[in-house]
Amino acid sequence: MLSALGEREAALAAAREAVALRRDLAAQRPDAFRPDLATSLNSLANMLSDLGQREAALAAAQEAVALYRDLAAQRPDAFRPDLAMSLWVLADCLDAVDRREDGLVANAEAIVTLTDLFRRSPAAFGHRIRGMVKEYVERCEKLEREPDMRVLGSEIEVFQALRSGGDAEG
């Protein structure tokens, strides 16, 4: 909210404080607070990136992805959407430090991570995956590559079914 009001430095300070507090809580009760820590790290990564602190943003995004990978391994249905979003943030952070190939890989992994949930519930995950797919295609274009249809294939089928009014959830 502070960031939306133009108080970006104050928002950054609050995000750093949230990470520090949640890091302490997660150290005491990991099962209860690691998800909150990962969420705070993603928010911090976005704020740092917006303020041009790209290396720090990348470090926060990488830590968030590592946490969400562990959480998704334990409870896939609960944490795969968060892992996908975290990978998408990581892709942007990698691009910002001129690691475009790595950004493309992270973006593709975000799409693949969300695919099964999207196929089961297009309405719930359509907005997210559309953004991921759009950025993936843009990254491919910048790198002068053809998009990998193994990454995009199932999403294209679901988008086409939604446009034609078919049952995409079946």
Instruction: Note the pLDDT tens digit of each residue in 1-29.
Output: 555 546 788 889 999 999 999 999 999 99
Q: What one-letter code names the amino acid at 10? A: A
Give the lowest-confidence range in 18-32, 112-126, 143-157: 143-157
Residue 170 banded pLDDT, cuts 50, 70, 90 = very low
- Environment class of 5 (CB within 10 Å of its CB; exposed 0-12, middle 13-18, buried 19+): exposed
Residue boundaries of the structural domains of the chain: 1-75, 99-170
Which single residue is written with the structure tokens 């926060």?
Answer: 60
Q: Which two tokens stand for residue 76?
A: 């896939």
* Structure confidence by residue, pLDDT tens digits, 55-112: 999 999 999 999 999 999 999 999 999 999 999 999 999 999 999 999 999 999 999 9
∠81-82-87 over CA atoms, to 5°?
A: 100
**pTM score, two decimals?**
0.87
> Residue 108: which of 146, 72, 68 has the closest Cα?
146
Q: Which two tokens stand for residue 77?
A: 């249905």
